Every structure is written in C-alpha cells, then in structure tokens.
Amino acid sequence: MHVMEGFLPWEWALFWTLAAAPFVAYGFLIIRRILREDPNQRTMLALSGAFIFVMSSFKLPSVTGSSSHPTGTGFSTMFFGVGVTSVMSLIVLIFQALLLAHGGFTTMGANVFSMGVAGPFVAYLAFKTMTKAGVRTPIKVFITVFLAGMVTYITTAVQLALAYGPFADSLLSFLAVFAVTQIPLGIVEGILFTIFVDYLERARPDLTEKAFPRRVKDEA
C-alpha cells in the first residue's frame, strides 16, 4: 500500500524517512555479508526482489492519497528477515516511482517503513514463533504472508491518520475503507505464496533449506 507523491506534510515525510533509514542501512550490510559468505543465495535474493516488484505493481485505487495492492514482502521476510526486505522494498519503490508513478519520492520513507519494515517485522516475529512451535509449513507461510500485508495496511492507515487527524476518527475511517480491498488481497496473496513455496520445496529443496530446514518440516 503506497502513500502517493506529495500527500504527506514534509515533517511526517522526514520522520518516516528517518525511522526507516536504520533498517535499510542494516539491510545493505546483511546483503553484503550474504553475498560474501554464500553466493548461492543470489538466486533467492533476486527471486525475493522480483516478487515484491511484481506483486506490489498490481495497484487498486483506494482512499484519496493512497492505493491498495499486494506487497510481496512475505517471501523475502521468511528467507532473509526485515533488514534485507527493507532494502528490497526501497529498490522496488524507487523503480515504481520512476516507471509506474506508484508512491513517490517525498513519501518514499513512509512507504519503505510500512511495506519494508513494519509489515515484515511483525510477520518475521510470527514466522519464527510458529517455527519454534512446529506449525506446519503451509499454515506458517499463509499466516506470515497475510500478516506482512495486513500490518503494512494498518501502518499506512496510522501514517495517514497522524498526518490528517483527529487521529482516532481518521484511523477508523482509513482502516474501514482499506479493509474492503486489502483483506481479500491478503488472503489471495497468502494462498499464492503457500502454493509456490510448496512447489519450491519439492522442486528445489536446496533453495528452501534456509527458511524451512528438513528437520523442522519433518517434525511439523
């Protein structure tokens, strides 16, 4: 879910940029370490970025000043965590602002924070918790992907409500309107990624071993 160009007051645009910056900086360090220590992960990094770009490019009109779309960040979150996902989201958002007029540069920080930090952060915590609890892979994948999208949408609603209060009334209004498109999109996205991860586990288990070790899958 993108906040569109120029829609946030400058002080909020700056605030969200500063909030997202540490995660992006950390993500670049993690990516450099991954490529140095395990070059084979290039395939999964590229696949993660491609999913974010393709899924988040399907834009549906939503509340004035925003749009609804799948995020595609759940896959990257499961395999690489929040830092890497924030970098992938930043790169995708830059290309989308340049080529597709999605989002914008003045709202880049807000969009990176909601899509690349807040959503993945909650989803990653849930993913790790479910892994420790031995939750079956299909359920784990669906919930992780669904949460990544839902928390992104909630965070965007919070960002808009903070900028265009009163906060409580605005938040409820934004959440109610966003829910009409975002909840069905989240369910569809969760199902699609569950099917794809199942296929990938069967076709290329060497690529999924990092996020779904065989021992964990067997126990699940």
Q: What's the CATH code of the domain at 28?
A: 1.10.1760.20
Q: Containing domain of residue 60, as a range?
A: 2-219
Q: Which parts of the chain fold into alpha helices (H)? A: 10-37, 42-56, 73-99, 108-112, 119-133, 137-163, 167-203, 205-208, 214-219
Number of domains in the chain: 1
Q: Is the pLDDT of residue 219 over 50?
A: no
Question: Mean per-residue pLDDT for 5-28?
Answer: 93
Q: Is the dihedral of CA 215, 126, 120, 22 positive or negative?
A: negative
Q: What angle separates helix 137-163 from helix 167-203, to the nearest 10 degrees?
A: 150
Contact in structure between 93 and 3 (CB atoms under 8 Å): no
**What is the pLDDT at residue 103?**
74
The residues, ordered by sequence, that sit 6+ positions from 65 with a Cβ below 8 Å of its Cβ are 3, 4, 7, 160
pLDDT tens-place string over residues 151-184: 999 999 999 999 988 999 999 988 888 887 888 8
Q: Is the pLDDT of residue 32 over 90?
A: yes
The residues, ordered by sequence, that sit 6+ positions from 33 with a Cβ below 8 Å of its Cβ are none
| Residue with tokens 């808009």, as numbered in its chain | 160
The pTM for the full model equals: 0.89
Q: What angle separates helix 10-37 from helix 73-99, to the nearest 10 degrees?
A: 120
pLDDT tens-place string over residues 94-128: 998 888 777 789 999 999 999 999 999 999 999 99
| Residue with tokens 């989002």, as numbered in its chain | 103
How many angstroms separate the CA atoms of 91 and 73, rounded? 13
How many angstroms separate the CA atoms of 78 and 64, rounded? 32
pLDDT tens-place string over residues 125-143: 999 999 999 999 999 999 9
- Bridge partners, 155 (sequence order): none
The C-alpha angle with vertex 185 and arms to 75 and 76, in degrees rounded to 5, equals 10
